[in-house]
Amino acid sequence: MMNFSNVFAEKRKLLIESMLLSGAIKSSSVKKAFLSVNREEFFPKDILEYSYADSAFSIGYNQTISQPSTIAMMLELLAVEKNQNVLEIGAGSGYVLALLAEIVGKKGKVYGIDIVPELAMNARTTLAKLGYENIEIYHSDGTLGLKDFSPFDRILFSAACPEIPKPVINQLNKNGIIVAPVGKYQQWMHILKKDSEGKISGEVSDLGPFVFVPLKGKYGFD
């Protein structure tokens, strides 16, 4: 009888080697996170064999689990460090939350928001089953952030923004970074930084273009 865990482990290693060669993964922390998190746990059961294809796949409710190389590029831009307080907006399956939790470590904290209640609940169940104790997931309007748990050292948008919502910018800590795909039909990665005095600067990465599902909510797309 075939041992599927061994098959997935081999596919995981091959995908990571491919992302290292392409430059999507640059840091040891991001590489280690991808090695530590089993993508198949967050995948629809009827298409498990595609868990390590470098593509985005539907997870229902008009949402997707993002392409691994795209996630890797975003995590590299986000430059997450140990023990940080991190927010992901558009948490979907919870896969990226698990990657973030691996990077921040047990003393760090990761929060996720999804506007689809079923996805928030499914992600919560999956992450609890996998033993993650430093992740909290909320069903709410991600464009408003999570003020009660701010400030955040890093904020990641996993949905396309018309622009980065001001309420979320206000929840960024000093020396913090936001990474967000911005644009309607295709997106480029915007990197927003807040310095030690609270001054904000922004740049646009030359990576892309990307295609994300649209951000919904008060400051999202109609």
Residues with catalytic function: 66
Helices (runs of H) and strands (runs of E) counted in the chain: 6, 9
d(CA 125, CA 29): 25
d(CA 95, CA 36): 11
d(CA 150, CA 129): 26
d(CA 105, CA 140): 25
**Contacts by 173-181, CB closer than 8 A, 24 or more apart:** 173/85, 174/198, 176/151, 176/152, 177/77, 177/78, 177/79, 177/153, 178/154, 179/74, 179/77, 179/78, 179/154, 179/155, 180/156, 181/157, 181/208, 181/210, 181/212
With residues binned 3-state (H G I as helix, E B as strand, rest as coil), the percentages for the chain, rounded to 5, are 35, 25, 35
Residue 72: both structure tokens together: 């890797």
